[in-house]
Structure 1
Protein backbone atom coordinates (compact mmCIF):
# COMPACT_ATOMS: atom_id res chain seq x y z
CA UNK A 1 0.00 0.00 0.00
CA UNK A 2 2.81 2.39 0.89
CA UNK A 3 4.47 1.70 -2.45
CA UNK A 4 1.28 2.67 -4.27
CA UNK A 5 1.03 5.92 -2.31
CA UNK A 6 4.64 6.88 -3.03
CA UNK A 7 4.18 5.99 -6.70
CA UNK A 8 1.11 8.23 -6.83
CA UNK A 9 3.01 11.10 -5.20
CA UNK A 10 5.88 10.67 -7.66
CA UNK A 11 3.52 10.68 -10.65
CA UNK A 12 1.74 13.77 -9.33
CA UNK A 13 5.00 15.64 -8.82
CA UNK A 14 6.23 14.59 -12.24
CA UNK A 15 3.01 15.83 -13.81
CA UNK A 16 3.32 19.17 -12.00
CA UNK A 17 6.93 19.55 -13.15
CA UNK A 18 6.05 18.77 -16.75
CA UNK A 19 3.09 21.13 -16.63
CA UNK A 20 5.19 23.97 -15.24
CA UNK A 21 8.04 23.39 -17.66
CA UNK A 22 6.13 22.87 -20.91
CA UNK A 23 2.41 23.58 -20.62
CA UNK A 24 0.77 26.95 -21.02
CA UNK A 25 3.20 28.54 -23.45
CA UNK A 26 1.85 30.09 -26.62
CA UNK A 27 2.17 27.93 -29.70
CA UNK A 28 2.08 30.93 -32.04
CA UNK A 29 4.88 33.34 -32.84
CA UNK A 30 8.13 33.27 -34.78
CA UNK A 31 10.17 30.11 -35.09
CA UNK A 32 13.79 30.01 -33.95
CA UNK A 33 16.81 27.95 -34.89
CA UNK A 34 17.74 27.11 -31.29
CA UNK A 35 15.38 28.77 -28.81
CA UNK A 36 12.35 26.88 -27.60
CA UNK A 37 9.09 28.78 -27.31
CA UNK A 38 9.28 28.66 -23.49
CA UNK A 39 12.76 30.26 -23.60
CA UNK A 40 11.55 32.97 -25.95
CA UNK A 41 8.62 33.67 -23.59
CA UNK A 42 11.05 34.21 -20.71
CA UNK A 43 13.24 36.55 -22.78
CA UNK A 44 10.22 38.57 -23.88
CA UNK A 45 9.06 38.88 -20.27
CA UNK A 46 12.52 39.97 -19.09
CA UNK A 47 12.95 42.44 -21.97
CA UNK A 48 9.60 44.03 -21.17
CA UNK A 49 10.69 45.05 -17.66
CA UNK A 50 14.35 45.80 -18.41
CA UNK A 51 13.55 48.10 -21.34
CA UNK A 52 9.98 49.37 -20.86
CA UNK A 53 8.43 51.85 -23.32
CA UNK A 54 9.86 55.22 -22.34
CA UNK A 55 10.55 58.61 -23.87
CA UNK A 56 14.19 58.21 -22.91
CA UNK A 57 14.61 54.99 -24.92
CA UNK A 58 14.58 54.75 -28.72
CA UNK A 59 12.50 51.55 -28.58
CA UNK A 60 11.14 49.12 -26.03
CA UNK A 61 12.62 45.74 -25.23
CA UNK A 62 9.72 44.02 -26.99
CA UNK A 63 10.31 46.06 -30.16
CA UNK A 64 14.02 45.17 -30.07
CA UNK A 65 13.18 41.46 -30.58
CA UNK A 66 15.67 40.24 -27.99
CA UNK A 67 14.61 36.59 -28.40
CA UNK A 68 15.63 36.86 -32.06
CA UNK A 69 18.99 38.29 -31.08
CA UNK A 70 19.52 35.61 -28.43
CA UNK A 71 18.71 32.90 -30.96
CA UNK A 72 21.29 34.22 -33.44
CA UNK A 73 23.81 34.54 -30.61
CA UNK A 74 23.21 30.95 -29.51
CA UNK A 75 23.69 29.66 -33.05
CA UNK A 76 27.16 31.26 -33.12
CA UNK A 77 28.23 29.78 -29.77
CA UNK A 78 29.94 26.42 -29.24
CA UNK A 79 27.60 23.71 -27.99
CA UNK A 80 28.82 23.81 -24.38
CA UNK A 81 28.39 27.58 -23.99
CA UNK A 82 25.07 27.39 -25.81
CA UNK A 83 23.74 24.82 -23.35
CA UNK A 84 24.98 26.85 -20.37
CA UNK A 85 23.18 29.95 -21.60
CA UNK A 86 19.97 28.05 -22.21
CA UNK A 87 20.25 26.60 -18.70
CA UNK A 88 20.52 30.19 -17.46
CA UNK A 89 17.19 31.04 -19.09
CA UNK A 90 15.55 27.99 -17.52
CA UNK A 91 16.98 28.89 -14.11
CA UNK A 92 15.49 32.38 -14.17
CA UNK A 93 12.16 31.16 -15.49
CA UNK A 94 11.67 28.69 -12.64
CA UNK A 95 13.76 30.17 -9.80
CA UNK A 96 10.54 31.57 -8.32
CA UNK A 97 9.99 28.11 -6.86
CA UNK A 98 12.89 28.89 -4.50
CA UNK A 99 12.76 32.70 -4.42
CA UNK A 100 9.11 33.57 -5.09
CA UNK A 101 7.91 37.00 -6.10
CA UNK A 102 5.97 39.11 -3.62
CA UNK A 103 2.20 39.05 -3.82
CA UNK A 104 -0.34 36.53 -4.95
CA UNK A 105 0.88 33.83 -7.32
CA UNK A 106 4.52 34.58 -6.59
CA UNK A 107 5.52 30.97 -7.16
CA UNK A 108 4.46 31.06 -10.80
CA UNK A 109 7.15 30.92 -13.45
CA UNK A 110 8.78 34.24 -14.32
CA UNK A 111 7.00 34.76 -17.64
CA UNK A 112 3.60 34.28 -15.95
CA UNK A 113 4.18 36.94 -13.28
CA UNK A 114 2.83 40.47 -13.53
CA UNK A 115 5.15 43.18 -14.79
CA UNK A 116 5.61 44.57 -11.29
CA UNK A 117 6.40 41.14 -9.86
CA UNK A 118 8.96 40.47 -12.58
CA UNK A 119 10.70 43.75 -11.83
CA UNK A 120 10.75 42.92 -8.12
CA UNK A 121 12.26 39.50 -8.87
CA UNK A 122 15.09 41.03 -10.90
CA UNK A 123 15.74 43.60 -8.19
CA UNK A 124 15.89 40.82 -5.60
CA UNK A 125 18.54 39.04 -7.68
CA UNK A 126 20.47 42.30 -8.05
CA UNK A 127 20.51 43.04 -4.31
CA UNK A 128 20.91 39.42 -3.15
CA UNK A 129 23.46 38.62 -0.49
CA UNK A 130 24.50 35.61 -2.56
CA UNK A 131 27.33 36.56 -4.88
CA UNK A 132 26.39 33.79 -7.31
CA UNK A 133 22.87 35.17 -7.76
CA UNK A 134 24.21 38.63 -8.56
CA UNK A 135 26.69 37.24 -11.08
CA UNK A 136 24.03 35.13 -12.77
CA UNK A 137 21.86 38.22 -13.18
CA UNK A 138 24.85 40.09 -14.63
CA UNK A 139 25.28 37.36 -17.24
CA UNK A 140 21.62 37.58 -18.22
CA UNK A 141 21.69 41.37 -18.44
CA UNK A 142 24.83 41.26 -20.59
CA UNK A 143 23.07 39.18 -23.24
CA UNK A 144 19.94 41.35 -23.24
CA UNK A 145 21.82 44.67 -23.20
CA UNK A 146 24.02 43.61 -26.12
CA UNK A 147 20.93 42.68 -28.10
CA UNK A 148 19.18 45.94 -27.25
CA UNK A 149 22.12 48.26 -27.95
CA UNK A 150 22.94 46.38 -31.16
CA UNK A 151 19.50 47.05 -32.64
CA UNK A 152 19.70 49.49 -35.60
CA UNK A 153 17.35 51.98 -33.93
CA UNK A 154 19.47 51.98 -30.78
CA UNK A 155 22.64 52.48 -32.79
CA UNK A 156 21.02 55.34 -34.67
CA UNK A 157 19.96 57.05 -31.45
CA UNK A 158 23.53 56.74 -30.15
CA UNK A 159 24.98 58.15 -33.36
CA UNK A 160 26.67 54.84 -34.12
CA UNK A 161 24.67 53.73 -37.14
CA UNK A 162 26.96 52.14 -39.75
CA UNK A 163 27.95 54.13 -42.81
CA UNK A 164 27.13 52.90 -46.27
CA UNK A 165 30.38 53.20 -48.20
CA UNK A 166 30.89 52.49 -51.88
CA UNK A 167 34.38 51.39 -52.81
CA UNK A 168 35.73 53.52 -55.67
CA UNK A 169 37.42 51.98 -58.71
CA UNK A 170 41.17 52.53 -59.03
CA UNK A 171 43.58 51.74 -61.87
CA UNK A 172 44.67 48.44 -60.30
CA UNK A 173 41.07 47.16 -60.45
CA UNK A 174 41.31 47.07 -64.26
CA UNK A 175 44.61 45.17 -64.33
CA UNK A 176 43.50 41.99 -62.54
CA UNK A 177 40.36 39.84 -62.78
CA UNK A 178 38.26 39.00 -59.71
CA UNK A 179 39.74 36.34 -57.43
CA UNK A 180 39.34 32.90 -58.95
CA UNK A 181 38.47 34.22 -62.42
CA UNK A 182 40.47 34.21 -65.67
CA UNK A 183 41.80 37.23 -67.53
CA UNK A 184 38.78 37.15 -69.78
CA UNK A 185 36.85 38.51 -66.79
CA UNK A 186 38.81 41.75 -66.50
CA UNK A 187 36.49 44.64 -65.61
CA UNK A 188 35.28 46.67 -68.57
CA UNK A 189 35.91 50.37 -68.07
CA UNK A 190 32.91 51.27 -70.20
CA UNK A 191 30.53 49.29 -67.96
CA UNK A 192 31.64 51.06 -64.80
CA UNK A 193 29.83 54.36 -64.15
CA UNK A 194 32.01 57.35 -63.50
CA UNK A 195 32.46 57.87 -59.80
CA UNK A 196 32.23 61.23 -58.15
CA UNK A 197 35.34 62.67 -56.51
CA UNK A 198 35.96 61.34 -53.04
CA UNK A 199 34.78 63.53 -50.22
CA UNK A 200 35.12 63.25 -46.45
CA UNK A 201 32.34 61.53 -44.54
CA UNK A 202 31.83 64.57 -42.34
CA UNK A 203 31.98 68.20 -43.38
CA UNK A 204 34.46 70.34 -41.43
CA UNK A 205 34.69 71.31 -38.70
CA UNK A 206 34.79 67.75 -37.39
CA UNK A 207 34.19 68.87 -33.82
CA UNK A 208 32.50 71.86 -32.15
CA UNK A 209 34.54 74.88 -31.02
CA UNK A 210 36.64 74.27 -27.95
CA UNK A 211 35.12 77.34 -26.32
CA UNK A 212 31.47 78.25 -27.05
CA UNK A 213 31.26 81.32 -29.26
CA UNK A 214 34.90 81.11 -30.43
CA UNK A 215 35.55 79.67 -33.87
CA UNK A 216 38.35 77.16 -34.32
CA UNK A 217 41.31 78.15 -36.41
CA UNK A 218 41.32 76.74 -39.91
CA UNK A 219 44.49 75.24 -41.28
Structure 2
Protein backbone atom coordinates (compact mmCIF):
# COMPACT_ATOMS: atom_id res chain seq x y z
CA UNK A 1 0.00 0.00 0.00
CA UNK A 2 1.05 3.58 -0.53
CA UNK A 3 2.67 5.32 2.40
CA UNK A 4 1.11 8.48 3.78
CA UNK A 5 3.24 11.62 3.84
CA UNK A 6 2.56 15.18 4.90
CA UNK A 7 3.49 17.10 1.74
CA UNK A 8 -0.13 17.70 0.73
CA UNK A 9 -1.28 19.21 -2.57
CA UNK A 10 -4.38 21.38 -2.54
CA UNK A 11 -6.43 22.05 -5.68
CA UNK A 12 -7.36 24.25 -7.48
CA UNK A 13 -3.89 25.50 -8.42
CA UNK A 14 -3.15 28.51 -10.66
CA UNK A 15 -1.16 27.62 -13.78
CA UNK A 16 2.32 29.15 -13.73
CA UNK A 17 2.69 31.73 -16.48
CA UNK A 18 -0.96 31.62 -17.51
CA UNK A 19 -3.23 33.62 -15.16
CA UNK A 20 -6.33 32.54 -17.08
CA UNK A 21 -5.67 28.82 -16.52
CA UNK A 22 -6.34 26.80 -13.36
CA UNK A 23 -5.56 23.16 -12.52
CA UNK A 24 -8.09 21.08 -10.61
CA UNK A 25 -8.81 17.48 -9.72
CA UNK A 26 -11.35 15.81 -11.98
CA UNK A 27 -14.52 14.77 -10.17
CA UNK A 28 -17.89 13.16 -10.94
CA UNK A 29 -19.41 16.43 -12.19
CA UNK A 30 -16.67 16.68 -14.83
CA UNK A 31 -17.19 13.28 -16.45
CA UNK A 32 -19.39 14.30 -19.41
CA UNK A 33 -17.31 17.33 -20.41
CA UNK A 34 -14.05 15.48 -19.79
CA UNK A 35 -15.17 12.48 -21.85
CA UNK A 36 -16.09 14.71 -24.80
CA UNK A 37 -12.77 16.53 -24.48
CA UNK A 38 -10.78 13.28 -24.46
CA UNK A 39 -12.66 11.98 -27.49
CA UNK A 40 -12.06 15.16 -29.49
CA UNK A 41 -8.55 16.07 -28.40
CA UNK A 42 -7.06 12.63 -27.76
CA UNK A 43 -8.73 9.83 -29.66
CA UNK A 44 -9.56 11.76 -32.83
CA UNK A 45 -5.88 12.81 -32.96
CA UNK A 46 -4.60 9.43 -31.74
CA UNK A 47 -1.55 8.26 -33.79
CA UNK A 48 -3.03 4.74 -34.00
CA UNK A 49 -6.60 5.80 -34.82
CA UNK A 50 -6.44 4.20 -38.27
CA UNK A 51 -6.72 0.72 -36.76
CA UNK A 52 -10.11 1.36 -35.15
CA UNK A 53 -13.43 3.15 -35.51
CA UNK A 54 -13.05 5.67 -32.69
CA UNK A 55 -16.72 6.64 -32.46
CA UNK A 56 -17.98 3.06 -32.55
CA UNK A 57 -15.27 1.39 -30.48
CA UNK A 58 -14.39 4.04 -27.88
CA UNK A 59 -17.27 6.50 -27.51
CA UNK A 60 -19.71 3.97 -25.91
CA UNK A 61 -17.48 3.25 -22.91
CA UNK A 62 -15.27 6.30 -22.45
CA UNK A 63 -17.66 7.91 -19.94
CA UNK A 64 -17.77 4.76 -17.81
CA UNK A 65 -13.98 4.52 -17.79
CA UNK A 66 -13.37 8.21 -16.98
CA UNK A 67 -16.16 8.21 -14.41
CA UNK A 68 -14.50 5.32 -12.61
CA UNK A 69 -11.08 6.95 -12.62
CA UNK A 70 -12.50 10.24 -11.37
CA UNK A 71 -13.55 8.44 -8.17
CA UNK A 72 -9.87 7.73 -7.48
CA UNK A 73 -9.08 11.47 -7.36
CA UNK A 74 -5.80 11.30 -9.25
CA UNK A 75 -6.88 12.72 -12.62
CA UNK A 76 -6.07 16.36 -13.34
CA UNK A 77 -7.73 18.85 -15.64
CA UNK A 78 -6.87 22.39 -16.67
CA UNK A 79 -9.59 25.00 -17.23
CA UNK A 80 -9.61 28.42 -18.86
CA UNK A 81 -11.52 30.66 -16.46
CA UNK A 82 -11.92 33.34 -19.14
CA UNK A 83 -13.61 30.90 -21.55
CA UNK A 84 -16.54 29.68 -19.45
CA UNK A 85 -14.20 27.36 -17.51
CA UNK A 86 -13.81 25.05 -20.46
CA UNK A 87 -11.31 22.19 -20.23
CA UNK A 88 -8.15 22.84 -22.22
CA UNK A 89 -5.89 20.02 -20.99
CA UNK A 90 -6.19 16.84 -18.97
CA UNK A 91 -4.20 13.96 -17.49
CA UNK A 92 -6.33 10.86 -16.90
CA UNK A 93 -4.46 9.00 -14.18
CA UNK A 94 -5.14 5.54 -12.79
CA UNK A 95 -3.96 3.98 -9.53
CA UNK A 96 -2.97 0.50 -10.67
CA UNK A 97 -2.62 -2.43 -8.27
CA UNK A 98 -1.02 -5.80 -9.03
CA UNK A 99 -4.03 -7.62 -7.58
CA UNK A 100 -6.55 -5.64 -9.59
CA UNK A 101 -10.18 -6.56 -9.05
CA UNK A 102 -12.51 -7.05 -12.01
CA UNK A 103 -14.73 -4.13 -11.04
CA UNK A 104 -11.68 -1.82 -11.03
CA UNK A 105 -11.99 -1.21 -14.77
CA UNK A 106 -9.14 0.00 -16.95
CA UNK A 107 -8.53 0.66 -20.64
CA UNK A 108 -8.08 -3.03 -21.37
CA UNK A 109 -11.41 -3.90 -19.73
CA UNK A 110 -13.10 -2.88 -22.98
CA UNK A 111 -11.15 -5.15 -25.32
CA UNK A 112 -13.51 -7.25 -27.44
CA UNK A 113 -12.44 -9.04 -30.65
CA UNK A 114 -16.00 -9.02 -32.03
CA UNK A 115 -17.53 -5.71 -30.94
CA UNK A 116 -14.30 -3.70 -30.84
CA UNK A 117 -11.67 -5.43 -33.01
CA UNK A 118 -9.57 -2.30 -33.44
CA UNK A 119 -9.52 -1.57 -29.73
CA UNK A 120 -8.63 -5.21 -29.18
CA UNK A 121 -5.45 -4.57 -31.21
CA UNK A 122 -4.67 -1.46 -29.15
CA UNK A 123 -5.05 -3.52 -25.99
CA UNK A 124 -2.69 -6.08 -27.49
CA UNK A 125 -0.12 -3.31 -27.79
CA UNK A 126 -0.78 -2.23 -24.19
CA UNK A 127 -0.24 -5.83 -23.08
CA UNK A 128 3.15 -5.86 -24.84
CA UNK A 129 4.08 -2.66 -23.01
CA UNK A 130 3.13 -4.07 -19.60
CA UNK A 131 5.85 -3.98 -16.94
CA UNK A 132 6.43 -6.26 -13.96
CA UNK A 133 7.28 -3.68 -11.32
CA UNK A 134 8.03 -4.45 -7.69
CA UNK A 135 6.21 -1.34 -6.48
CA UNK A 136 2.50 -1.59 -5.68
CA UNK A 137 0.48 0.43 -6.44
CA UNK A 138 1.78 2.39 -9.42
CA UNK A 139 0.24 5.59 -10.73
CA UNK A 140 -0.38 5.23 -14.46
CA UNK A 141 -0.77 8.29 -16.68
CA UNK A 142 -3.25 6.61 -19.02
CA UNK A 143 -4.26 9.51 -21.28
CA UNK A 144 -2.85 13.02 -21.54
CA UNK A 145 -3.77 15.68 -24.05
CA UNK A 146 -3.96 19.42 -24.63
CA UNK A 147 -6.49 21.25 -26.79
CA UNK A 148 -5.05 22.13 -30.18
CA UNK A 149 -6.04 25.74 -29.51
CA UNK A 150 -3.70 25.76 -26.49
CA UNK A 151 -0.78 23.79 -27.92
CA UNK A 152 2.90 24.77 -27.86
CA UNK A 153 2.64 26.36 -24.42
CA UNK A 154 4.18 23.53 -22.39
CA UNK A 155 0.84 22.62 -20.82
CA UNK A 156 1.32 18.86 -21.13
CA UNK A 157 4.57 19.20 -19.17
CA UNK A 158 2.73 21.14 -16.48
CA UNK A 159 0.04 18.43 -16.33
CA UNK A 160 2.78 15.85 -15.83
CA UNK A 161 4.52 17.95 -13.16
CA UNK A 162 1.31 18.35 -11.16
CA UNK A 163 0.67 14.61 -11.50
CA UNK A 164 4.12 13.97 -10.01
CA UNK A 165 3.44 16.38 -7.15
CA UNK A 166 0.08 14.75 -6.46
CA UNK A 167 1.62 11.27 -6.49
CA UNK A 168 4.33 12.34 -4.06
CA UNK A 169 1.76 13.88 -1.73
CA UNK A 170 -0.09 10.54 -1.61
CA UNK A 171 3.04 8.47 -1.03
CA UNK A 172 3.05 6.89 -4.48
CA UNK A 173 6.57 5.74 -5.27
CA UNK A 174 6.44 5.11 -9.03
CA UNK A 175 4.62 6.69 -11.97
CA UNK A 176 4.46 5.01 -15.37
CA UNK A 177 3.33 6.22 -18.76
CA UNK A 178 2.87 4.32 -22.02
CA UNK A 179 3.67 6.84 -24.76
CA UNK A 180 2.37 6.04 -28.25
CA UNK A 181 3.66 9.16 -30.02
CA UNK A 182 7.08 10.70 -30.56
CA UNK A 183 5.92 14.02 -29.12
CA UNK A 184 4.71 12.52 -25.85
CA UNK A 185 7.88 10.41 -25.59
CA UNK A 186 10.08 13.46 -26.03
CA UNK A 187 8.08 15.42 -23.46
CA UNK A 188 8.39 12.80 -20.73
CA UNK A 189 12.08 12.24 -21.46
CA UNK A 190 12.69 15.97 -20.96
CA UNK A 191 10.89 15.80 -17.61
CA UNK A 192 13.30 13.16 -16.33
CA UNK A 193 11.13 10.08 -16.85
CA UNK A 194 13.26 6.99 -17.49
CA UNK A 195 12.77 4.99 -20.70
CA UNK A 196 12.46 1.32 -19.72
CA UNK A 197 10.85 -0.32 -22.76
CA UNK A 198 10.11 0.40 -26.40
CA UNK A 199 8.37 -1.42 -29.23
CA UNK A 200 8.76 -0.76 -32.97
CA UNK A 201 5.34 -0.44 -34.60
CA UNK A 202 6.66 -1.93 -37.83
CA UNK A 203 7.86 -5.08 -36.09
CA UNK A 204 5.10 -5.78 -33.55
CA UNK A 205 3.01 -8.85 -34.37
CA UNK A 206 -0.38 -9.43 -32.75
CA UNK A 207 -2.27 -12.63 -33.61
CA UNK A 208 -0.02 -13.19 -36.61
CA UNK A 209 -0.52 -9.70 -38.03
CA UNK A 210 1.36 -6.41 -37.96
CA UNK A 211 -1.53 -3.98 -37.39
CA UNK A 212 0.55 -0.88 -36.64
CA UNK A 213 2.89 -0.73 -39.66
CA UNK A 214 3.47 2.94 -40.39
CA UNK A 215 5.55 5.45 -42.33
CA UNK A 216 4.61 8.33 -40.02
CA UNK A 217 6.88 10.10 -37.56
CA UNK A 218 5.43 7.90 -34.81
CA UNK A 219 7.55 4.76 -35.13
CA UNK A 220 7.70 3.39 -31.60
CA UNK A 221 5.64 2.95 -28.46
CA UNK A 222 7.57 3.49 -25.25
CA UNK A 223 7.17 2.98 -21.52
CA UNK A 224 8.63 5.51 -19.11
CA UNK A 225 8.75 5.44 -15.33
CA UNK A 226 9.42 8.12 -12.74
CA UNK A 227 10.67 7.31 -9.26
CA UNK A 228 9.10 9.71 -6.77
CA UNK A 229 11.51 8.97 -3.92
TM-score if structure 2 supplies the norm length?
0.25
Larger radius of gyration: 1
Name whichever structure is richer in helix by fraction. 1
Which is strand-richer, 1 or 2? 2
Higher relative contact order (CA 8 A, sep 6+): 2
